[in-house]
Amino acid sequence: MLVSLAERHFSQALVFCGFRALPAMLILATVAILTSWRPLIAEESTEERNKQEPHKNILFILVDDLGYMDIGANNPNTFYETPNIDRLAASGMRFTDGYAANPVCSPTRYSILTGRYPTRVDATNFFSGKRSGRFRPAPLNDRMPLEEVTIAEALKEHGYSTFFAGKWHLGPTEEYWPTKQGFDVNRGGHRGGGPYGGKKYFSPYENPRLTNGPDGEHLPDRLARETSEFIREHRDEPFLAYLSFYSVHTPLMAPKQLVAKYQAKAKRLGLSDENAFAEEEQVFGDQPRRVRIQQNHAVYAAMVESMDRAVGKVLACLDELGLDDSTAVFFIGDNGGLSTSEGSPTSNLPLRGGKGWIYEGGIREAFLARCPGVSKPGSVSSEPVISTDFYPTILEFCGLPQKDEQHLDGVSLLPLMKGEPRLDREDLFWHYPHYSNQGGFPAAAIRRRDWKLIERFEDGRVHLYNLLEDPGELRDLSEASPDLVRSMRDELHRWYLEVDAKFLQEKDGRQPWRPMPF
């Protein structure tokens, strides 16, 4: 149809320009000659269009166990040093109220890749965490279904090359690993949740999807190099580079020279473990659990800086290749900082709790986005956003059609980057029907603007907090606000039905609480 219209318009133009007397055969011959040039003309116009509008690329950076208060952009007084992440924040939009969909890793990773709440498929704990407490935990699905159309698969449909590096932790066997979920290349993603085997954070890695480097090679640096090489090789075509650090997950290991740097820094600042801990509630026994309230862990600080340096190397690669103006960069942690177990290396104060807790310290994240041509450098949004929002945001930035049936729990964040103060969404939800390794209790939560309601699954108790006035969740306002509690709880229960939420199970003849009509 387009060709015939062009030919018709050309014939009409010849007539309009006074060629009525030309023989019909001459006109047709001229049209035929120009028609034979159509592929060249189309090719040239496509090249020109690409020069004017470069293809859109995506760099997605996911950090394991990074706390909200671990980066300078969120916490100018942090003990750690994150200049590259801070520059990324300054070059785009920083979300002060950005969340992971779950207080532990695998469910949040699922939410990013699918745009769905992990509760929809019972992927509600790290794969395969099944710890019991007073009751047995809810049933757990420990693999991301192959039926899901991941963001990688959605982009591949439109010609994108896709790359994954680092931690996967979304399925027990190879059939569920990155190359089966839309990624062309996988460097290091497998069933494990940490860099187990060999020297762990240093080569030899003994990782089934990452060849060993020179003895002593550092894992964050290796993953950054692999990502940069992929970008360099695919600079002339649209790409998704998904850099999923194993850092800063335990084991606590870092280069010796960096550890020494932070040991000296802690000494210079007069920081020690003597006053670095306080008490937090305990759901497993009578003894309070310790929570770190001061950032001074030298090894952890060195791990954070090593990760930040790796981020800087990949960002520098984009700059060097001239791709910074056509590549959106997204950055988030998968859950809150580890503050109540496994060495408790970081503090999330003033946020309460940490990894494994449904308090803010367990779910509020370092959440950054730089979308060239959309986000403004140094912009900040306090609108509550969540990890399911990346999928539709990426599609819209790339100018691709939305997949509303897939990413049905996310919304695009581009309106916020364009200056809109709020999204067309009222509530966010969390569902964690498990006893976390870090001491967190089984519960769900709903956030509505400044308000957050937590519902405990052992006995049905609720707590209500105003996060604007009380980000540390220390003042329970549930008794003073019965109408708001009722409204938010009703909406949370409606959501349970929508996502087919599962709950604690009977143990030793004891029956846990159930929301009606479950």
Residue 98 pairs with which residues in a beta bridge? 385
Cα 90 to the center of its chain, rounded Å: 19
Joined together, the tokens standing for residue 204 give: 């030899």
Specify the amino acid at residue 63.
V
Over range 403-425, report the average pLDDT. Answer: 97
φ/ψ region of 356 (left if φ > 0, alpha if ψ in -120 to 50, else beta) reads left
143-194 confidence digits (pLDDT tens): 999 999 999 999 999 999 999 999 999 999 999 999 999 999 999 999 999 9
Question: What percent of the chain is predicted at pLDDT more than 70?
Answer: 89
248-275 confidence digits (pLDDT tens): 999 999 999 999 999 999 999 999 999 9
**Claim to verify: residue 38 and residue 62 sit in the same structural domain:** no
Residue 367 pairs with which residues in a beta bridge? 332
pLDDT at 489 over 80: yes
1-52 confidence digits (pLDDT tens): 333 333 333 333 333 333 333 344 433 344 343 344 434 434 444 344 444 5
**Claim to verify: residue 240 and residue 348 sit in the same structural domain:** yes
Rounded Cα gap, residues 318 and 235, in angstroms = 9
**Claim to verify: residue 16 and residue 68 sit in the same structural domain:** no
List of residues 6+ apart from 240 with CB closer than 8 A: 57, 58, 60, 151, 152, 155, 160, 161, 162, 163
Domain assignment present for 517? no
**Mean pLDDT estimate for the chain:** 90
pLDDT at 422 over 60: yes
Alpha-helical segments (H) within 65-173? 83-91, 105-114, 151-156
pLDDT at 331 over 90: yes
Specify the pLDDT at position 518.
Answer: 65
* 300 vs 45, higher pLDDT: 300
CATH of the domain at 363: 3.40.720.10
Domain residues for 25? Answer: 2-42
| Burial classification of residue 268, based on how many CB atoms lie within 10 Å of its CB (0-12 exposed, 13-18 middle, 19 or more buried) | exposed
Joined together, the tokens standing for residue 272 give: 């020690």
**Claim to verify: residue 32 and residue 73 sit in the same structural domain:** no
Specify the pLDDT at position 517.
Answer: 74
Determine phi and psi for 60, rounding to 5 degrees: -115, 125
3 state DSSP class of 495: helix
**Claim to verify: residue 243 and residue 177 sit in the same structural domain:** yes
**Claim to verify: residue 390 and residue 245 sit in the same structural domain:** yes
**Claim to verify: residue 19 and residue 68 sit in the same structural domain:** no
Specify the pLDDT at position 52.
Answer: 56
pLDDT at 382 over 60: yes
pLDDT at 279 over 50: yes
Over range 80-98, report the average pLDDT. Answer: 98
**Claim to verify: residue 359 and residue 447 sit in the same structural domain:** yes
Domain assignment present for 512? no
Could you tell me how many residues make up the chain?
518
215-239 confidence digits (pLDDT tens): 999 999 999 999 999 999 999 999 9
**Claim to verify: residue 237 and residue 360 sit in the same structural domain:** yes
**Claim to verify: residue 22 and residue 100 sit in the same structural domain:** no
CA of 314: how far to CAs of 84, 85, 226, 241, 252, in Å? 10, 11, 9, 10, 24
What is the dihedral angle through the alpha carbons of 470, 474, 477, 478, rounded to the nearest 10 degrees?
A: 130
**Claim to verify: residue 363 and residue 472 sit in the same structural domain:** yes
Q: Are 258 and 247 in contact (CB under 8 A)?
A: no
Domain assignment present for 477? yes
**Per-residue pLDDT band at 495 (split at 50, 70, 90):** very high
Q: What angle do CA 469, 472, 475 make, to 5 degrees?
A: 65
Specify the pLDDT at position 286.
Answer: 67
Over range 354-377, report the average pLDDT. Answer: 98
**Claim to verify: residue 10 and residue 73 sit in the same structural domain:** no
